[in-house]
Amino acid sequence: IGGVLDDILLKIADLMEKDYALRQKIKTAMSYPSFVAGAAVLMSIFMLTFILPQFVGVFASFGGELPALTQFFVTLTYLFNKYWYIFFIVFAALVSAFLAYIKTPNGKLNFDKFKLNAPIFGEINRKGAIARFTRILGTLIKSGVPILEALSVSSNAIGNLVISSAVLGAKTKIKEGQSISGPLAASGVFPPMVTQMIMVGEESGELEEMLINVAKFYDQEVDRTVDNLTSIIEPLMMVFIGLTIGTMIIAMYLPIFNMVNLIQ
């Protein structure tokens, strides 16, 4: 018994280590764009608060009508500096409402759907969830846990309500005598390759090994996707910041350029 228990504990430790590494990869992929977007917002606030107000008096001395882009930022500067607290109250209210909504059953389900279908990051989330599910299920079956119980445990550990619901729905069908691959394929959540490999594992009697192989494959897919995403997002984020700040700088100097052209 001691040897079996030691083996199970080692598998659980290995499972937790791999799951932690997977979650960290996904967090890393998502944290960089969030950081850059936050930096762009802070830089914009700095420009609106300290830089643009210095130009407002200069613009007023020009007389005449300002370019539309400049007028937009002058108005935005005025509104932000006079009613800045309203901006922050509205922002805090929206964030609080969003956080409260995703804690509701319907809100969590919709947010998890969005995470699976979101542009760019949806692919990473889906692959990560599949890797987590197949690794946990394969490890549990390999450790001697009955399939129905293993499905229940793995569904709770997936971290995505959409996929968890699909697994629990499949569990009901399996309890009625169906195979594992059929209900999972019918759910529409899992890629055909995953369900086909599970079907091969069922037919060959090596389901647990096939599940672990699927997990390894999707681990590599997450690594590849994160690497590709990082190489694409870094220049895109730099372009985003450049456009954001560059547009504000152009708006500040447009009236000066126009005045110089008139003088010439």
Q: For residue range 127-151, list pLDDT tens digits in order.
A: 888 988 998 899 888 888 888 998 9
Q: Which domains does the chain have, with CATH numbers?
A: 12-55+65-252 (1.20.81.30)
Quick one: tokens of 139?
Answer: 């490890």
For residue 63, give the H/E element and its range. Answer: none
pLDDT digits (tens, 9 = 90+) for 200-241: 999 888 999 999 999 989 988 888 888 887 777 778 888 888
| Cβ density class 60-92: b for 16+ within 10 Å, e for less | eeeeeebeeebeebbeebeebeeeeeeeeeeee
**The pTM is what?**
0.73
Which whole-number Å values give the CA distances from 1 to 8, 208, 233, 235, in the listed order? Answer: 11, 22, 51, 56
Cβ–Cβ < 8 Å for 172, 186 = no
Residue 158: strand, helix, or coil: coil
Interatomic CA distance for residues 246 and 250, integer angstroms: 6
pLDDT tens by residue, 208-219: 999 999 998 998
